[in-house]
Amino acid sequence: MKLTFATRPSALARWQTQWVIRALQDIYPDLLCEEKVIATQGDKILDTPLPEIGGKGLFTQELEHELLSGTVHCAVHSLKDLPVESPGELTVGCIPIRGEVRDVLISKHGLTLEALPQHAVVGTSSLRRAAQLLAVRPDLNIQPLRGNVDTRLRKAIDGPYDAIVLAGAGLARLGLLSYVTQWLPLEVMLPAPGQGALAVQCRKTDETTLGLLGGLDDISTRNAVIAERAFLRDLGGRCAVPVAAYAEEGITMTGLVISTDGKKAIKVKGEGTDALQLGSQLARAAISQGANEILALGDVT
């Protein structure tokens, strides 16, 4: 049996795909796997913030096209980049055990978020990160930051930024944790729905591939991200909005909707046994407290 994986060209995307391949081959030693590298619009357009060019779906569309055409069996995504609504012919065949969920601060001068000078320039193109940074440090000058992990690190060290914020999972996977100045606590920086988790997408009708991928599925991670993505979906479903969520085993979840300037925030918490129901329930709670008004403000700024 042979599986062909679609993957983006970045070092992190390749690492994630190769990790999935190795994990599958540990379970199925006779399984043959190969990669097909595909550059997405998100990889090609690097001079514009993601919210202005369509959001994180730009990292997945070409890979999904390859799946739909039948030229590949699987596509490996960072789950936080995968839109909550996907083509009906596709499904997430497995969600492996989750990695690090926290974001990190990287400062060229080794300063923590609290110690950065007044009006320090901080790089991120994530509305979620920018809003939460401004909630605790409204003086900060938030500037766009695009590119793969290596490019962002180079900009942090040699560029105009006093600090940048990145997902810790990517740095951990690439062996780059030595660059981390500060792990941002969840009380300060709640992650994006699905952050730290991988999703392996395949065709719904491909029962052979689904059977193989099932061996990598982690039920605790799947339940957590189902709750987080249900929260995002019921708030409008767009990856580029300032929405954060984190669910833990149990399931207990915290969800956040925050204005892009960090001045208005709605935080909701709950627990339950049905992940989908919990995410939807917390989204309704956030809406009842004015979440839609906050998100509408973000659409016009």
Window from 56-70, 118-132, 182-196, 279-293 with minimum mean pLDDT: 56-70
Does 60 have pLDDT greater than 90? no
Structure confidence at residue 147 as a pLDDT band (50, 70, 90): confident
Each residue's pLDDT tens digit, 251-272:
999 999 999 999 999 999 999 9
The structural domains of the chain, ordered by start, are: 1-96+198-217 (3.40.190.10), 103-183 (3.40.190.10), 218-301 (3.30.160.40)
Alpha-carbon torsion, ordered 77, 82, 232, 106, to 10 deg = 60
Does 241 have pLDDT greater than 70? yes
Looking at every residue in the chain, the average pLDDT score rounds to 91
Which position has the higher pLDDT, 86 or 129?
A: 129
Structure confidence at residue 43 as a pLDDT band (50, 70, 90): low
Q: What size, in residues, is the chain?
A: 301
DSSP per-residue letters across 203-218 = ETT-HHHHHHHGGG--
What letter does residue 160 receive in the DSSP assignment?
A: S
Residue 158 designated active-site: no
Each residue's pLDDT tens digit, 204-214:
999 999 999 99
Catalytic residue among 47, 81, 234, 261: 81
What letter does residue 67 receive in the DSSP assignment?
A: H
Both tokens of 249, joined, read 């085993």
Which position has the higher pLDDT, 279 or 157?
A: 279
Contact 101, 196 (CB under 8 A): yes
Does 300 have pLDDT greater than 50? no
What letter does residue 73 receive in the DSSP assignment?
A: S
Does 299 have pLDDT greater than 70? no
Element (H, E) at 164: strand 163-167
Average pLDDT over residues 16-42: 93
Contact 249, 220 (CB under 8 A): yes
Structure confidence at residue 53 as a pLDDT band (50, 70, 90): very low
pLDDT at 58: 65
